Chains A and B, each alone.
Chain A
Amino acid sequence: MVSKPSRRRLVATGLALVAGTAALTALPAFIDPYSLRIVTGVLMWAGLACAWNIVGGYAGYISFGHSAFFGIGAYVTGILMQSGVGMPFLATLPLGILVAVGVAAAIGGPTMRLRGAYFAIATWAFAEMLMQLATVLDITGGTGGLSLPAYLNEFFFYYTMLVVALAVYLGAWYLLERTRFGYRLKALRDHEPAAEAVGIHTTRVKVQAFALSAGITSLFGSIYAYWVTFIDPRSVMGPEITDQMVVMVLLGGLGTVWGPALGATVLWVTNRYIWSEFGDTAIYLPILGLIIALIVLFLPNGLISLLPGGRRGHGVLTRLLRKL
């Protein structure tokens, strides 16, 4: 059964959400365009991390191939907005989602039979395959990339990202924590044969989760393509995209609703800070790697477990303090 959280907690969360939304809506009036771009980036990465978390954190399948879906969204929008086709931006979004969900549903069945490391390798191979495909095809512009019509309105992208990210988080919270779907997903993560034994159609649930995650990732890919106005196989399908999604979720807290948002905020702000401080982001990658290794060694439940009220917050914090 779906248990009800305490009324007080629900009210507190609701109030925090309303206040947060109001603050984010008003934010562009108070900050300069450069900071606005950073916040837009935070919103995008928070949404992407949330999408990855559905498969990685809730279903327990570590995917190293999510850049494929990001790229699918970016390329669908990019190709359909070329002057020959000339579709309006908003019309390309559902098409991108449709293609990504279709691909995810098609490959999800056979791929998700593989467990653990095999699944990770398979998704990785799939993503690299798509990137190579985008490199050799003509319609994607090959290595030369694609240019999209420029729409230089930072406010538009900020609010688009805000609306989509908020919808993604609310939807994810509702689906994963308040419905039977979420419980089925967690059950199969914790013990797949047992979940099957109590009558959960595990394959269907897994593929649904994978397709949902792919659809969200593709949506952000579409918006990103229009936002940066130029895409090539490396920038929208490269392994760095998946790397960041994985690290943000691990940093924030695997299998928690708000952990990915926290991880994304910390990491993306760090990234931009390094960029503005050193002029390039070369040192960002080794830091990213170091963070993963340290998190795995010392903080497997992520930053969110340090916050008061986190499920294991008290335990981890006291343990860390004792270590120091």
Chain B
Amino acid sequence: MDVLLQALLNGILIGGILICLTVGFQLTFGVLHVIDFAVGGWVMLGGYAAYWASRLLGLDPFISVFFIFVVFAGIGCALGPLIYHVRTSRYARPDLMALAFTFGLFIMMRGGALWLWSFDSRSVDSVLSGASLSVGPVTIPLLRLSAFGMALLLGLGLFVLLYRTRFGMAVRAVAQNRDHAGLMGVDVKRVSAYVYGIYTGITASAGVLLATIYSVNPEVGVRYTLFAFFVAVLAGLGSVGGVLVAGLILGLVESLVGTYVGTRYSLLVVFATLYLVLLISPKGILRRGI
């Protein structure tokens, strides 16, 4: 029973971060209609940024995460117009070309990290590492709890931005219909670039949190791209709300399989579930996808 409780708790805490990892991805798909293969690459680069910030500047990841958000949002804003250009180009299949483009970006990030920083895993230390809270039979590592809180904060900020500001209204308008939004005076190109920036910022921040809990190496990107796809497909591609449910499900599945079946099977189960969900219900379990 205690083991089950602990597994459930771990699942929920990780699920919160996975939600943070996927909301930006979903937003990008909704607005730009691009499946970004590079999502795991942003997570990985965020982790490395936190590592170097703590190594060179002595910044705690929970402080540097704000700077990392800003820096990566800037990079994303600069990259956004390129992706918008590819997606709206006159190529025969702009959707597949955009997919290939982000695929290229992802290989570049993974390869660049391998080349610069080699295979070694690097862990990012925080003042909270090692401390934990005991509540009844379960122990809550403070690190995971704070990371969960930070992820919720970021997610909440995104929701406020989307539903309580004029900019958010423009974003939602573009997501509903790009042409009509353009006719109503929304600068579609600029909104798309900003959305891509917000997405890269929030995804890199999720990467910081994940790097403090686990560690970071060039190969983690593949895994997190997969996780983002999993959560997105389960939620229905483009549905931001569905992510809340799907992220928790993935967190719980991973934690429960890891506890009861064995960690080496957890990826197998995750991939098999993803494949089956795609075949059975490609619009997501809530049927809210585009």
Contact = CB atoms under 8 A, between A and B. Distances in A.
B110 A120 contact: no
A129 B268 contact: yes
B93 interface: yes
A114 B278 contact: yes
Contacts, number: 124
Interface string B55-86: 00000000000000000000000000010011
B229 A121 contact: yes
Interface residues of B, number: 44
Contact of B99 (A60, A120, A297, A300): A120
Contact of B282 (A118, A120, A124, A250): A118
Interface residues of A, number: 42
Interface string A250-284: 10000000000000000000000000000000111
B265 interface: yes
Interface stretch (A76-84, A132-140, A314-322): A132-140
A60 to B, nearest CB: 7
Given A118-B278, A296-B86, A297-B86, A289 B100 contact: no
A185 to B, nearest CB: 15
Q: Report which residue of B92, B104, B108, B115 has the largest number of chain A beta carbons within 10 angstroms of its beta carbon.
A: B104
Interface in A40-79: 60, 62, 64
B107 A286 contact: yes
Given A121-B229, A129-B275, A135-B264, A289 B95 contact: no
A239 interface: yes
A289 B109 CA distance: 8
Q: Which of B89, B278, B282 has the most CB of A within 10 A?
A: B278
Interface in A99-121: 110-111, 114, 116-118, 120-121
Query: Which of A116, A246, A250, A286 lies at the interface centre, i.e. has the most chain B CB atoms within 10 A of its CB?
Result: A286
Contacts of A111: 279
A120 B35 contact: yes
Contact of A293 (B95, B108, B237, B275): B108
B30 to A, nearest CB: 13
Interface string B125-154: 000000000000000000000000000000
A285 interface: yes
B277 to A, nearest CB: 9
Nearest to B265: A136
Nearest to A128: B271
Contacts of A293: 101, 104-105, 108
Contacts of A297: 82, 85-86, 101
A300 B85 CA distance: 13
B100 A62 contact: yes
Contacts of A285: 107-108, 110-112, 114-115
A191 to B, nearest CB: 11
Contacts of A166: none
B282 A114 contact: yes
A128 B101 contact: no
Contacts of B109: 289
Contact of A296 (B104, B108, B233): B104
A110 B277 CA distance: 12
A280 to B, nearest CB: 9
B233 A292 contact: no
The 6 nearest A-B residue pairs measured at CB: A285-B111, A292-B104, A289-B108, A289-B107, A129-B271, A286-B111
26 contacts: A60-B93, A111-B279, A114-B278, A114-B282, A116-B95, A117-B35, A117-B95, A117-B237, A118-B233, A118-B282, A121-B274, A121-B278, A122-B278, A125-B226, A129-B268, A132-B271, A136-B268, A246-B100, A282-B118, A286-B115, A288-B111, A289-B109, A289-B110, A290-B104, A297-B85, A297-B101
Interface of B: 35, 82, 85-86, 89, 91-93, 95-101, 103-112, 114-115, 118, 222, 226, 229, 233, 237, 264-265, 267-268, 271-272, 274-275, 278-279, 282
